[in-house]
Amino acid sequence: MVALSAILQREALRFLGQRGRLLAALVRPLVWLIVFAAGFRAALGLSITPPYQTYITYEIYIVPGLVGMILLFNGMQSSLSLVYDREMGSMRLLLTAPLPRWWLLTCKLVAGSLISVLQAYVFLAVAAAWGVRFSPGGYLAAFPAIMLGALMVGALGLVLSSFIRQLENFAGVMNFVIFPVFFLSSALYPLWKMAEASPRLRDICAINPFTHAVELIRFALYTKLDSLGLAVTIAALAVFGAAAIWGYDPARGLAARRI
């Protein structure tokens, strides 16, 4: 717990020292919400009937997807800092601590995920001020869903950081991963709309774990449980977490030659 507390404090100080980070995390989804939503609304129709049988506007539909965008970008950015720490040597000091490596990686993952959740709720507050609101119970119910989604995308970032050595290479891989994961999901448009355009594309979106993380958040904001989304998100977290631990294992992973 001392290690967890220390890593949490370090990540919090790093986040507070990067004042533009929160602003950048908010500007991106707000542009989608305020500017692009008008065009998507015109393309998809004035309203959407999602699977939880509530008649809502497109702006309300898109907000959970934009929360997922925040989690995805921050998860990748947190992993980018791991590559930077490796180049600076601080990652070597962390992983040589007299503690299980899986626990140290878990502490890093939890710390980065909590920052993602903080950014997500700041965005939800700004969206509420803009007029896109959910019930108070929905905001509370969404916390475990947002945290689980943050852990899942953060674990994916850990996997990538374990196999990539140079900082500039990781930045390129981030874009290669982020945009397909985000756009091939239900973050911006429902799967039934995707099926109208291409059933095969809809199937690709349906097997994307990020889709299920977004749906888990979307249902939670309406105080409902998406059982399939919960199961897939937990399974993806387990797979990505295990792969990250393997990747950072000095006896077997590629990180053995790099850390």
| pLDDT, tens only, 123-138 | 999 888 888 889 999 9
Going by C-alpha positions, the residue among 23, 214, 222, 37 that lies closest to residue 123 is 23
Choice among 9-18, 114-123, 174-183, 218-227 with the minimum mean pLDDT:
9-18
**Mean of all residue pLDDT scores within the chain:** 79
CB neighbours of 196 closer than 8 A, spacing ≥ 6? none
Query: Residue 34, Cβ neighbours under 10 Å: how many?
Result: 12
pLDDT of residue 78: 78
pLDDT of residue 231: 96
| Band (92; pLDDT cuts 50, 70, 90) | low
For the residues 181-195, what does the mean pLDDT come to?
Answer: 84
Task: Say if residue 194's pLDDT is above 70.
Answer: yes
For the residues 85-110, what does the mean pLDDT come to?
Answer: 74
- Domain ranges across the chain: 2-257
Query: Residue 146, Cβ neighbours under 10 Å: how many?
Result: 26
How far apart are alpha carbons 259 and 253 in whole angstroms?
A: 11
Report pTM: 0.82
